[in-house]
Each structure stands twice: as structure tokens, then as C-alpha cells.
Amino acid sequence: MTCRVSSDIIILLIGGRGLCKKGESRVGSDKKIGTENTACFRSASEKNMAKTVVVGMSGGVDSSVAALLLKEQGYNVVGLFMKNWEGDDADGCCTADDDYADVRRVCAKLDIPYYGVNFAKEYMDRVFSYFLDEYKRGRTPNPDVLCNREIKFGPFKEYAMQLGADYIATGHYCGIRHENGIHYLLKAKDQNKDQTYFLNQLSQSQLSDVLFPLQNLPKPEVRRIAEENGLATAEKKDSTGICFIGERNFRKFLMNYIPAKKGEIKTYDGRTLGEHCGLMYYTIGQRRGLDIGGQAGDAGRWFVVEKDLKNNVLYVAHGAEDRLYSKGLYMNSCNWIPSAPAQKEFKCKAKFRYRQEEQGVTVRIGRDKIFVDFDEKQRAITEGQFCVLYDDEKCLGGGVIEKAIF
């Protein structure tokens, strides 16, 4: 499928009907609001009436409902669709055309203007080049974190301000608190959907003038609101995978940019078990896709424990996974969202991958490294991923994992 959303800015004003009857609100509830709540709603609406919010609309249900909620709160809402990827891929699926069509349908329903803008060059320069460099180093990067820092809260926000925005908003599941000139990134009420992990690299300036309308809503409630208000994205499947790869075959995609170099799969005692198709396709702790099957005299599943780039060898082990468990890690730097802590050593919580339960850690800030010691050993700490730190509901920030400490 060919991606042919115009690279030019598209400005379309769409007419439509209002979503709520007079004296009625569908924000998080299907009940009519009473006199007391109506007064509060009107007060908020009057306060926000002159404020313009540009909402990053992806064509999904989350950003659609974010736009709906902000309009019902009295903001002047404008939708902005970003195209971040150019090119054709015969082996995969490019959804930009379909996504943009959904944005048009939702904005028509909401009776709000929308724009389309192309950030493909910025994405290639700031995100995709980093992604390739990390894979060439044998690491496993997280480009979605970089996309937020380098695109959504970078050129996107700058462009939104040029459109006259007072705020920008997204459909991320997280919250924001502006207090005494400091902007705190907060976890979402729905812990299963919390996305602060992907926003850990944002700065204070990037978090200023930002709204996250979905902070207190669980995903089922978001879909219910979308369905009740007749939004075209109400039942749309959530996007999966790396943002620019989508549903494509990952190996085939990566082979277009990095030549695969085959090599041996070995154990630490020197046995050769098979052949790998390129170290970049494997990650620490991986069990599937090794294609080495059962070996005589061995019991248990095989898993990746090390990638030796110098000798192009993939090391595996089987049975007990002790080799995968580390007692800590270190980062070369950390993005501190509120500010750098005054203490050089402190306890907090941490995540080392998305959808992981928070783990207790002790952080030690050295002269040129930041050490994170685990309360309990952790499995498959992966170089190139992010270690994200938390203090209760606040996301403190995070950094790239350089090495696990065993």
C-alpha cells in the first residue's frame, strides 16, 4: 500500500452538529448533569472559551475522545494529523491514508477544523537514524520514546503554537500538574494503560502548555464515550508495534536498511548449536525464533544471554535462567523531568520496559554514571531500552540503559 497523504499543509473547515443537548454532558457519564454540576461545567466552559487547544490526532480512539472532552470543556479545539513516515513497503501495511480519513470523519462529527502536516524528514533525521544506529551497535532501542521528545513535543508543538494554540493535547494515558512554575508528569489512573514510560525524556519547556484529557479514564470508558457520541474510531483496533513499522514483518523491514550478517549460535562451553541470521534481530532473554530445536542431552528451553558483536556470535543458555538476572544497571545520563535531585543517593521505583510492574531501586548518582541498584534481581535487562524512575504518582524521568550489572 502506498502512503500518499499530502506533504503540504491541509486546512479544511468541516461543518457538523453539536454532540450534547443543552444542559447535558457525556464526559465520562451517560447521565444528565444536575443544576450544581451544570454551573460548574458552564464555569469551566466560560473560563476555557477563549483558549485554543491543538490536539494531536492519530486517527485512533484515544485522540478522538481527547478532542471531544476538550470541546465539551469549552475549549476552541483544532485537530492536527502528523505524517511521520514516507515510502512504500510491499511486505507490510501503511495505514496513513486510513488514519487520516478517520481524523476527517471524527473532526466532521465534532465540528472542529483540522490540519495535516508532514514531519517525515524530521522523523528520519531525529528518530529513525538513531534507531538504525542503535541496532548497528547490537542494542534494542525504543524509538517511540524518541518520537515523543523529538517530534510530538518538538516540531508538532512548535507548529501548533504557530497556528495560535494556547495549549497542545494528546491522547496519552498520563497526567500533568503545573505547580509553582514546575510541570510534573503524572501516572494515569488506568495503570494498565499508563504511558509515562514513553514520555520520560520530555523537558520542562516541552511539558508547559500541555493537556492530557485521558488521565482519569480507563480504556473501556474511553471506548464507551466514543461509541455514545458516534465517533468513527469507537471500535478501531489499537495500533501495535513500533510506530513506523506497524504491522510489517520486522526482519524484512530492517533488512532494507541494515545488511544482515549470519553467524554462529553458541553456548558458553563452546558448543555450536546453529546459525543466527543477524545479531540485530535478537534481544536479551528472547526464547522464540532461535531455530535450534532440542539438543541431545539438554533439557529446558534456550534463550539469548549475550550478543558478541566483535565476533558476530549469539550466545544462548537453557534450563535455569540465572544468567539473565542482574542486580543493577547503569546509565550515562538521566533526563530529570522536574529537576535533578538534591541527594546523590535515594530510593524510588523503576520500570525497565513498558507494561512492567514498578520495581524498588536505589539510585546512586556518580560523576559520569548513574547507577540503579535493584531491591530484587531483574530478568533480561536490555541495553538501549529506558530505565524510567518514579516517586509515587510522579515520573521523575529516565535514561538509556547502558549496561546491566551482574
Same domain, 100 and 220: yes
50 against 281, higher pLDDT: 281
Task: Encode pLDDT of 245-279 as tens digits.
Answer: 666 678 888 888 998 899 999 999 999 999 999 99
| Domain harbouring 165, CATH code | 3.40.50.620
- pLDDT for residue 106 is more than 90: yes
> Under a CB-based contact definition with an 8 Å cutoff, are residues 112 and 72 in contact?
no
Task: Encode pLDDT of 196-214 as tens digits.
Answer: 999 999 999 999 999 999 9
Instruction: Write out the catalytic residue numbers.
Output: 147, 243
Same domain, 27 and 129: yes
pTM: 0.85
Give the amino acid at 181: G
Task: Encode pLDDT of 270-293 as tens digits.
Answer: 999 999 999 999 999 999 889 887
Last residue of a domain, one of 320, 343, 359: 320
- pLDDT for residue 374 is more than 50: yes
pLDDT of residue 44: 47
Long-range CB pairs of 28-31, under 8 A, 24+ apart, other chains included: 28/216, 28/217, 28/221, 28/225, 30/224, 30/228
The band of 39, judged by pLDDT with boundaries at 50, 70 and 90, is very low
- pLDDT for residue 229 is more than 80: yes
Same domain, 308 and 384: no
Whether 395 maps to a domain, the answer reads yes
The residue range of the domain holding 358 is 324-405
Same domain, 372 and 384: yes
Q: Is 199 left (phi over 0), alpha (psi -120 to 50) or beta?
A: alpha
- pLDDT for residue 385 is more than 70: yes
- pLDDT for residue 32 is more than 70: no
Last residue of a domain, one of 303, 320, 337: 320
Could you give the CA distance from residue 200 to residue 149 in angstroms, rounded to a whole number?
Answer: 9
C-alpha Rg value of the chain to the nearest Å: 23
Same domain, 155 and 114: yes
Could you give the CA distance from residue 257 to residue 88 in angstroms, rounded to a whole number?
Answer: 14
- pLDDT for residue 30 is more than 60: no
- pLDDT for residue 129 is more than 80: yes
Coil/strand/helix, residue 250? helix
| Mean pLDDT of the region 39-67 | 78
| Mean pLDDT of the region 218-236 | 97
pLDDT of residue 249: 78
Same domain, 369 and 274: no
| Domain harbouring 269, CATH code | 2.30.30.280
pLDDT of residue 181: 93
The continuous run of DSSP H or E covering 83 comes out as strand 76-83
> Under a CB-based contact definition with an 8 Å cutoff, are residues 312 and 261 in contact?
yes
> Under a CB-based contact definition with an 8 Å cutoff, are residues 284 and 381 in contact?
yes
Whether 243 maps to a domain, the answer reads no
Lowest mean pLDDT among 1-15, 42-56, 154-168, 320-334: 1-15
Same domain, 78 and 133: yes
Q: Of 77, 82, 66, 347, nearest to 233 (Cα)? A: 66
pLDDT of residue 3: 38
Whether 88 maps to a domain, the answer reads yes
| Mean pLDDT of the region 37-42 | 35
48 against 131, higher pLDDT: 131
Task: Encode pLDDT of 69-81 as tens digits.
Answer: 999 999 999 999 9
| Mean pLDDT of the region 174-195 | 96
CA angle 378, 385, 347 (to 5 degrees): 50
pLDDT of residue 301: 84
| 32 DSSP 8-state letter | P
Same domain, 31 and 135: yes
Determine the angle formed by the axes of helices 219-228 and 61-72, rounding to 10 degrees: 70
Whether 29 maps to a domain, the answer reads yes
Could you give the CA distance from residue 302 to residue 285 in angstroms, rounded to a whole number?
Answer: 9
> Under a CB-based contact definition with an 8 Å cutoff, are residues 145 and 386 in contact?
yes
Could you give the CA distance from residue 321 to residue 92 in angstroms, rounded to a whole number?
Answer: 35
Could you give the CA distance from residue 53 to residue 71 in angstroms, rounded to a whole number?
Answer: 9
Whether 282 maps to a domain, the answer reads yes
The band of 94, judged by pLDDT with boundaries at 50, 70 and 90, is low
pLDDT of residue 34: 27
Same domain, 368 and 224: no
Cell for 98? 486510513
Partners of residue 329 on adjacent β-strands: 372, 404
Coil/strand/helix, residue 183? strand
- In the chain, the number of structural domains is 3
pLDDT of residue 87: 64
Cell for 222? 474511553
pLDDT of residue 7: 33
Kindly report the number of other CB atoms within 10 A of residue 68's CB atom. 26
Whether 193 maps to a domain, the answer reads no
Cell for 167? 495549549
| Domain harbouring 380, CATH code | 2.40.30.10
Could you give the CA distance from residue 132 to residue 139 in angstroms, rounded to a whole number?
Answer: 10
Mean per-residue pLDDT over the chain, rounded: 86
Same domain, 315 and 328: no
- pLDDT for residue 193 is more than 90: yes
Same domain, 111 and 42: yes
Last residue of a domain, one of 268, 301, 320: 320
Considering the chain, what percentage of its residues have pLDDT values greater than 70? 82
Same domain, 328 and 313: no
Whether 273 maps to a domain, the answer reads yes
Could you give the CA distance from residue 123 to residue 52 in angstroms, rounded to a whole number?
Answer: 26
Whether 76 maps to a domain, the answer reads yes
